[in-house]
Structure 1
Amino acid sequence: MVEILVREFDAERDSHAVEEMERRCEVGPSGKPSIFTDFMGDAICRIRHSPVYLMLVAEYEGEKGIVGVIRGCIKTVTRGRKPFTDFPIYTKVAYILGLRVSPTHRRLGIGTKLVEKLEEWCRQKGAEYAYMATERGNQASINLFTLKCAYIRFRTPTILVQPVHVHRKPIGSSHAVIRLAAPLAESIYRRLFSAAEFFPKDIDAILSNQLNLGTFMALPKKHLPVWDPQASRLPPSFAVMSVWNCKDVFKLQVKGVSPLTRAWCAGSRVLDGFMPWLQIPSIPDVFQPFGVYLLYGLYMEGKGGMGLMKALCRFAHNMGRDDVGCGAIVAEVGRRDPVQEAVPHWQRFSCAEDVWCMKRLVGEEYCDGGEGGPPDWVQSQPSSPVLFVDPREF
């Protein structure tokens, strides 16, 4: 029987081989629409911002080169609130991403071996659960995790993509957008997402990360003179979000479209250049590698919340417009999250159902049900329609 060797990634030794192997795979990252191809860049950059992470590679006995790769990271997140309190339940989870197997070495058990080895490391680090994300159409990945590795379909968030074009979007004269200092943003987020799932306990590390471009709040201008940012009470109507710069982490490129579609997209840019006063939402050149901004921590409240969230999305679009290389603004939200209706997006580029699968890694006697929640998170219903997407794992 041929042996599959799985070992830890060595940056000096393996970087080039991993990049070459992933380029041969020509597969978009977990959760991205299938028309996109992902250029990973630095092989470990997608997880190095997480508190605990690991990358494994696989080699096939008797052959040279790397034939498989997988990444994983561990963090502590919320899984809802303790009954009759405002205190969140925290759980240690592992996120598995970036599983790739060389096209010439598939159906040999390499993917399964990589997952098992990574799960073993996650248990040693104290993770109670592991989860992964993939698009609904990636049946091979879903089958691997659900049929061979005992994962269960868990949540199905939606990915919304809005291309960035050359025109600035108006914010609205009645709306004000302010930047929140990191300590204030942390305090507000801990309050707003205490009942949500997957809200990271180390949100302060995320907000202070160099890739975080800021946390912004939109509120009616009439509330500016009376709202004290240092007070515990929030405005009666507001929207809040943070912006994460993915440009330097990975690049995307649209592939698999017809020459007619390419010509139509190019024509929209030419027409826009000749008649800019028409404000045509021309499509940027997404057929070349481009970067994205991720909107995360989206939340709105109050009678005018939806309009304020739209104003924030326009503000983020304008940030991307002013940054060379940013081709799209992306948000991932829960399927029942009301902000979904407020986030502008193009259906062709978006993904209506991103599949998250989960598995419990430890026995029930070691699980976190003792904190007041159900003994098995995998079997529970969502504690809130709001789902927090960690930008470090996108």
Structure 2
Amino acid sequence: MSPKIAAESSPDKVVVREYDEERDKAAVEELERRCEVGGQLGKAPSFVTDLMGDPLCRVRNFLFHVMLVAEYGAEKEIGGVIRGCIKTVTRGKNDSSGFPLYVKLAYILGLRVSPTHRRLGIGSKLVQHLEEWCKKNGADFAYMATDCSNKPSINLFTLKYEYVKFCNPTMLVHPVHAHYKPIDSSIAIVQLSPQFTESIYLRVFANSQFFPKDIDVIINNKLNLGTFMAMPKKYLPKWYTQSGTLPPSFAILSVWNTKEVFKLQVKGVSALTYACCVGSRVLDNLMPWLRLPSIPNVFRQFGVYFLYGLHMEGKGASRLMKSLCDFAHNMARDDDGCGALVAEVGQRDPVREAIPHWRKFSWVEDLWCIKKLTTATQEANGSCGPSDWCKSQPSSSVIFVDPRDF
């Protein structure tokens, strides 16, 4: 559902209006191609994203979503674009009742301004109009996520629009190489039904932050490849006979197939880095018995699997989580064109240390900034969620990263 927004004229030749697929698709695709997006690998190269011919793909999976474009000048060139969506999420638990606190949250993403249209105020106008859409549709807060090195975006949101730096999740990336990873024979890995997955997630993430109320929609989405649980094999027979119970030790995660939505490509590496990456594949092909973890060809377009809902409990849980990630790697290895596994977790989340990753391909700190949209009058009328989320200490170190946001 995407409520219509009327076009609005501006004296400085910038007009912001809602995206029209038939009219704007070609121009927006060209704009996206001209803008390098994503994060950095080793602080040198960059990810370039191909949205697979669907500029709305990043927000289509949300009930409430919108995409705005900015026209500039008499020629009405598309100089910028921005996307937004609204969902209901947890912001921790109520100290008195112990029940989760829910707020209506807007996510602002995909802000792009053409290199030939920068410093014209287009980015500011897009953010302003999107915030107004968010307010009209009842959002209590808005947040955005970016790489810590993206200073122009950070300055725009924090200095001009008063967003505050809220948290620094860690993005962990593991390339998919040519060899299967062995799974410990003492560990059982089972696929869970959507219904059982929902009941587990509602339990283990009830007190986390950003856990979406519509988790059932995510689990049943066609991009979700399944939810898997690892446990010691000795618990398997008893666990199957006790429906609805959990084993004393387990790890769980879900796999989201982003390669059907967008693809990435690494650009900007040095000649030496490129040669080393190619050399690792050549050596692996010549001597496959060494089982070298060669770097896949990330210099052409590739897809990724996003791992979300990562949680572990009990004795030896870190080993169980590592085995689950290895299992996901083997799934990706069998999927042509999947070049990496990606997970994003809170810096103090216990699962962080258990997730296999390559440092050169990962970000130690992502940056999420947040802003309260509701007014004092709305708070007094009880028409918004808790007003101190931006300033309060988080009640949990766990952040649930919605795969639709990735």
Q: TM-score range by the shorter chain?
A: over 0.9
Question: Could you tell me which of 51, 62, 71 is aligned with 1:59?
Answer: 71
Residue number in structure 1 paired with 2:165:
153
Do the aligned partners of 1:212 and 1:243 also contact (CA within 8 Å) in 2? yes
Work out whether residues 62 and 85 of structure 2, in 8 Å CA contact, stay in contact via their aligned partners in 1.
Answer: yes
**What amino acid maps onto 1:127 in structure 2?**
A
Aligned residues of 1:31 and 1:355 also touching (Cα < 8 A): no
SS in 2 for 1:36: strand
Match of 2:361 in 1: 349
Please, which of 228, 234, 259 is the counterpart of residue 222 of structure 1? 234
Match of 2:29 in 1: 19
Q: Distance in 1 between matches of 2:162 and 2:16?
A: 21
**CA gap 1:230/1:48 in 2 versus in 1, 3 angstroms:** farther
- After superposition, give the CA deviation of every residue in 1:78-98 in whole Å (9 maximum; x if it has no partner): 001111444211110000000
Structure 1 residues 254 and 216: CA distance shift in structure 2, 3 A? same
| Worse-matched range after superposition: 378-387 or 282-291 | 378-387
**Offset at 1:227?**
1.4
| 2:286 counterpart of 1:274 | yes
Alignment of 1:284-323 (within 5 A): 284-323=296-335
CA 1:369/1:145 → structure 2, altered by over 3 Å: closer, same or farther? farther
Partner residue of 2:46? 35
Following superposition, the deviation at residue 362 of structure 1 comes to 0.5
Structure 1 position 329, deviation (Å): 0.2
1:380 pairs with 2:380 = no
Compared CA separation, residues 372 and 15, structure 1 to 2 (3 A): closer
Measure, in 2, the Cα distance between the counterparts of 1:322 and 1:369.
55
Question: 3-state SS of the aligned residue for 2:374?
Answer: coil
Change (3 A) 1:126 1:351: same
Distance in 2 between residues matched to 1:297 and 1:229, nearest whole Å: 25
Q: Who is 2:83 aligned against?
A: 71
Q: What one-letter code is carried by the residue in structure 1 that aligns with 2:209?
A: E
2:391 aligned with 1:391, yes or no?
Answer: no
Shift in alpha-carbon separation, 1:115–1:328, aligned structure 2, 3 A = same
* Range moving further from structure 2, 96-105 or 260-269: 260-269
| Residues 57, 68 of structure 1: 8 Å contact kept | yes
By how many angstroms is 1:106 displaced? 1.1
Distance apart, 1:236 and its partner CA:
1.0
AA paired with 1:38? T
Aligned pair partner of 1:204 in 193, 209, 216: 216
CA distance in 2 between partners of 1:31 and 1:185 (Å): 33
> Which residue does 2:131 correspond to in 1?
119
1:29 Cα offset (Å): 6.7
Match of 2:14 in 1: 4
Q: Equivalents in 1 of 2:313, 2:385: separation in Å? A: 27
Measure, in 2, the Cα distance between the counterparts of 1:124 and 1:182.
33
Deviation at 1:281, TM superposition (A): 0.2
Query: How far, CA to CA, are the matches of 2:242 and 2:300 in structure 1?
Result: 45
Counterparts of 1:102 and 1:257, CA distance in 2: 23
- For residues 300 and 369 of structure 1, do their structure 2 counterparts lie closer, same or farther at Cα, with a shift above 3 Å needed? farther
**Identity of paired residues, percent?**
63
List gaps (5 residues or longer) in structure 2. 1-10
Corresponding position of 1:260: 272
- Cα 1:279–1:388 change in 2 (3 A) is same
2:252, 2:335 → 1: CA distance?
21
Q: Is the 1:82–1:371 Cα contact (8 Å) retained in structure 2? A: no
Q: Is the 8 A contact 1:32 1:135 kept in 2?
A: no
CA positional deviation for 1:260: 1.5
TM-score normalised according to structure 1 size: 0.96
In structure 1, the residue corresponding to 2:260 is in which secondary structure? Answer: coil
State the 1:108 CA deviation: 1.3
Partner of 2:8: none
Distance 2:223 2:39 in 1: 19
> Counterpart in 2 of 1:339?
351
- Summarize the Cα distance change of 1:291–1:369 in structure 2 as closer, same or farther, 3 Å threshold: farther
8 A Cα contact 1:160 1:330, kept in partner: yes
Distance change >3 Å, CA 20–CA 221, structure 1 → 2? same
1:192 pairs with 201, 204, 211, which one? 204
- 2:155 pairs, out of 143, 149, 154, with 143
Runs of at least 5 residues in structure 1 that lack an aligned partner in the other structure:
none
- Cross-structure match for 1:83: 95
Q: CA deviation at 1:378?
A: 0.6
1:88-103 matched pairs, under 5 angstroms: 88-103=100-115
Q: Retained in 2: the 8 A contact 1:158–1:333?
A: yes
Q: Deviations over 1:139-168 (max 9, x none)?
A: 000000001111110111000000000100
Q: What residue in structure 1 maps to residue 5 of structure 2?
A: none
